[in-house]
Chain A
Amino acid sequence: MPLTLIKGSDIVKRSYYLILGFLPAAVLIALFFITPAIWGVYSSLTNMALVGKAARHLQFIGFQNYFRLFRDDAFFTSIINSVKYVIGSAIIGQFLLGFVLALLLEYTESKGVKGGNVVYGVVMLAWLTPALVSGFEWGAMYDFYYGTLNNILKIFGLSKINWLGKVPMLSVIIANIWQGTAFSMMIFDSALKTIPPELYEAAKMDGASHWQSIRYITLPLIKNIAVIDLISVTMATFGAFLMIMTITSGGPGMKTTTMSLYAYRSAFENFRIGYGCSISMVLLVINLIFGFTYLKVLKKIS
């Protein structure tokens, strides 16, 4: 029943229930997301530390952490690394690969080819494995001396490759694609299922090629969902930490140190909480910019 047809008293009653229903979630979100975020903003404006004199004398230092941050080479390196990681593993990897996989699965299913479910299941298995476990698995794959990949190369008589030394960023990107593609695939798969098959049949009758059906039917119909997927994989990857931490710990040197790793290193290895928080704040702002840009683009193309 449309809301406009409800009597005034009903609306009050209804919104009362609505509020009551929202309340637990709202309280939890406020407690576990908003409060820490506010605490993070506050901490980033202090010299908060767990060791040394600063641990004893907490001081409000204004924007000093941020001034330092923008003079810190390592911080800029970490931003560039984060962007590389997100473009490589989230946008090119998970998002596109997820889409292509979902498309292939749909296509083979429509042709009556069996085995699609097996592929779906295998991809999902990677996603269901905890990131920590996958991280260790990939670490074992890439290991120079005892790793699976180099042992495979040995079987073919090829010389060993120092994966984590020569191509560290690519290595962690591949591991993350392996782990995360299932999410995008799942989203796209369900989006594709919402497209009525008659549309494709009609297009076929009109003599459209496969590419044309994708271009003019599939893409326009799933673009909203695609943007939502893009936002979530981008944000998740920006904040991602475990995979890189377990495989390379950000090394060699700073080569795979992303912003979240740098924030962690500052806060929990050097124990400068204030400085670590200021890094997270910049990370938050960058994430928001990405989110808004996607939504803007979505509005434009709609």
Chain B
Amino acid sequence: MFVRSKWIVVCLIVLMMILSIGIVMNAAKKITVRVWYPDESGIKAKYMDQAAEVFKKDFPNVNLEITRFRVPPGDFKTKLLLALASGEGPDVIHFSGGSNIAEFADAGYIVPLDKYVNAWPDWSQYPNAVKSGVTYEGHVYAIPYGLDMRWLYYNKNIFKAVGLPVPWQPKTWNDIINAAIVIKERAPDKIPYVLYAGVAGSGGTLSQGFLPLFYGAGGKLYDSKTGKWIVDSPAYRKTLEYYRQAFLEYKLVPQEVMTLPKPWTTMRKKLFTGELGILYEGGWVYGGAMSMYGPEKTEKAVGYILMPSEDGKFFFTIGGSGTVWYVSAQSKHPELAWEYVKRFNCKDIVAKLNLEAPHPVARMDSANIPEFRAMKYMVDCTNSLKYARFLPIKPELNQVAYRIQLLTSRVASGEMTVEKAMKKYISEIKADLGAENVEVIQ
């Protein structure tokens, strides 16, 4: 009796093993497409799923694996690059564009999407400025969904309390400094102005601190004609002089901006709670506040405007390609990876995601849906892109950004004069990029 049941058990185990091997073999035969994306807030998950549903319907035999990383973008980048370097990366990468496009393309991590976008009718919905924001050395490498832009924000309540005009539109740099001086004199318990500087400001030091001034002084970081980085020009001096005035001469910006671990979290909060007068920040900050405090309260508290140039000749914003989609060069099925990217970047998902996490939309037909047009803020930030100036898409940009962080803090903390800090900056950049890759404009 026992012997027989033993045999039955053995037979069952063998059968199960054969079956499971069969299942494993079958699963191995099934193609897998892996998608990685960083998302701390969790807003994107449902849109990822929507695209996945459509994808699975069209490709029922393909196994789609979507992984969300709840880490800040910097940590995700480290994780992603280590995975790519060891050949373990995903097929589809969702990550910020800008200088990463150049770095990734040079490293051979991503493939040009030219042949895919040429066969994609929707590509005509993307304006040329947007397309050029994802083009590197003549090839399209990424698909954006929502763009980045930035505003000069001011707190309306503080402005009213100190007798400054609301709505406010400074015409020149001096107007901004003067408004901050008024706040400092009449509301000494408020922080008049915040301008990011130093390493603590992270990426914000370049795109929310330095560049809004530098571009407004007619500066250029990269000379596309000569293919060289411009390391000294009158615009550099003017920008740093502005930093010196704001931080040291009039003491409008608190030194703590350079020492708080994440100054932006503190300063964004202070802007909306009425403790900070003027702040240059990303458009997404207003969007975040709308979902936190409600659109009405946000509009009552804070105004947003374009940045004036030094002399008031033009107004502009700093634009960026935002978070984009890449197809990995390591993917065995790039055409399937593209199919997922395509399904995510349809008119509907692009519109709805950007409504939920307010950003200007990358494709114009998404701006035409009624919900989008009903929101004044969405219309304003999409319109601002007409005045956008972009960062150069170059692999060296991150190195330059780091040196600019040091440059601004040396001047803003009073550690060095503008002249000395520039000298040091030029020698550092030359060491980083090679003296033959930089030039000076008188």
Contacts and interface: CB of A to CB of B under 8 A. Distances in A.
Given A51-B104, A72-B431, A268 B258 contact: no
A73 B421 CA distance: 13
A50 B109 CA distance: 10
Interface in A74-103: 74
Given A51-B106, A168-B259, A270 B398 contact: yes
A68 B191 CA distance: 42
Contact of A144 (B74, B85, B108, B260): B260
B406 interface: yes
Interface in B74-104: 74, 78, 81-82, 84-85, 102-104
Instruction: Summarize A's interface: helix, strand, loop or mixed.
Output: loop
Task: Kindly state the interface size class of chain B when it binds its partner.
Answer: 35 or more
B78 A268 contact: yes
Interface stretch (B127-135, B148-156, B407-415): B407-415
B199 interface: yes
Contacts of A162: 255-256, 259
A158 B293 CA distance: 34
A74 B405 CA distance: 13
Given A71-B431, A249-B199, A56 B259 contact: no
A299 interface: no
B198 interface: yes
Given A252-B198, A252-B413, A165 B406 contact: no
B81 A51 contact: yes
Given A252-B409, A254-B406, A270-B399, A51 B107 contact: yes
Contacts of A253: 198-199, 258, 406, 409-410, 413, 415
B392 to A, nearest CB: 15
Interface string B284-325: 000000000000000000000000000000000000000000
Contacts of B108: 55-56
B48 interface: no
Contacts of B82: 50
B261 interface: yes
Which of B84, B261, B406, B427 has the most CB atoms of chain A within a 10 A radius of its CB?
B261
Contacts of A51: 81, 103-104, 106-107, 395
B47 interface: no
Given A68-B431, A270-B398, A53 B107 contact: yes
A50 B85 contact: yes
A137 interface: no
Contacts of A274: none
Contacts of B399: 270
Contact of B106 (A53, A72, A249, A270): A53
Contacts of A65: none
Contact of A251 (B74, B84, B103, B198): B198
A144 to B, nearest CB: 4
A247 interface: yes
B274 to A, nearest CB: 14
A251 B431 contact: no
Contacts of A164: 259-261
Given A50-B82, A73-B428, A249 B198 contact: no
Interface in B414-435: 415, 424, 427-428, 431
Nearest to A51: B103
A250 interface: yes
A143 interface: yes
A216 B428 CA distance: 54
Contacts of B258: 165, 251-253
Nearest to A144: B256
B402 A52 contact: no
A237 B341 CA distance: 47
Contacts of B179: none
Contacts of A181: none
A54 to B, nearest CB: 8
Interface string B159-184: 00000000000000000000000000
A51 B397 CA distance: 12
B384 to A, nearest CB: 31
B259 A144 contact: yes
Interface in A226-273: 246-254, 268-271
A139 interface: yes
Contacts of B427: 73
Nearest to B262: A249
Interface in A163-180: 164-165, 168
Contacts of A144: 254, 256, 259-260
A285 to B, nearest CB: 22
Contacts of A49: 107
Contact of B199 (A56, A250, A271): A250
Contacts of A250: 199
B266 interface: yes
Contacts of A165: 255-256, 258-259, 413
A145 interface: yes
Contacts of B107: 49-56
Contacts of A143: 260
B142 interface: no
Nearest to B258: A252
Contacts of A68: 431
B182 to A, nearest CB: 23
B200 interface: yes
A248 B402 contact: no
A253 to B, nearest CB: 5
B24 to A, nearest CB: 30
8 contacts: A49-B107, A51-B107, A53-B106, A53-B107, A74-B428, A162-B259, A250-B199, A270-B402
Given A50-B107, A251-B409, A254-B406, 19 more contacts: A50-B82, A51-B104, A51-B106, A51-B107, A52-B103, A53-B107, A53-B395, A55-B106, A74-B428, A139-B261, A144-B259, A164-B259, A164-B261, A165-B258, A251-B259, A253-B198, A253-B258, A253-B410, A253-B415
Interface of B: 74, 78, 81-82, 84-85, 102-104, 106-109, 198-200, 254-256, 258-261, 266, 395, 398-399, 402, 406, 409-410, 413, 415, 424, 427-428, 431
Interface of A: 49-56, 68, 71-74, 139, 143-145, 162, 164-165, 168, 246-254, 268-271
